Amino acid sequence: MRRVDPGEKLEGERVLRHLFSGARLDSVTFRSVELTLGFFNAEADKNREQPGYVWLTTIASATIARSGGFASSAPGTQAGFHEGRTALVGQLYQLLGDSVFSATIAPDGALGLQFTDHALDVRAGEDEQDEIWSVTSDTPEPLGEHRWRVTLSNSGRLVVKQPAR
């Protein structure tokens, strides 16, 4: 079972709180098995330390919960994964314009984003390869240069990058 170092988890959550503070879901993009969510922060002009755009990119399963009921997005098979992503599209589009109120990282590395009435949970299986999820500024491309970055690898390593103060 994947375990994230508690110190890395705390640092990652601190950076995620900063990045998502005031951010609203602005775009949803699917490319094959990759899901990219774009968030816009209109307040970033007032706070120069905060990026105007933040991207969450993942190859992992994602679920959306409302009042305690999770809708599965990716059962174990490849066909199930795509069926789950299809169901997830409608749920994500309903969240467009909604603000992120909190961001958490579970001990197993699952990423949780809390919106007004919904929660997004990004959780990888044991077979995932490479980066499971990545939250970046500047560009949604995982290999691009980023001032801000929080990335979970399949090994459970959480990489946190932020500008020097």
**Gap between the Cα atoms of 36 and 134, Å rounded:** 9
Q: Please state the pTM of the whole predicted model.
A: 0.86
- Structural contact between residues 35 and 127, judged by C-beta atoms closer than 8 angstroms: no
Q: Give the residue with greater pLDDT, 163 vs 45.
A: 163
**Gap between the Cα atoms of 39 and 137, Å rounded:** 10
Q: Across residues 65-91, what is the average pLDDT?
A: 62
Binned at pLDDT 50, 70 and 90, residue 65 comes out as confident
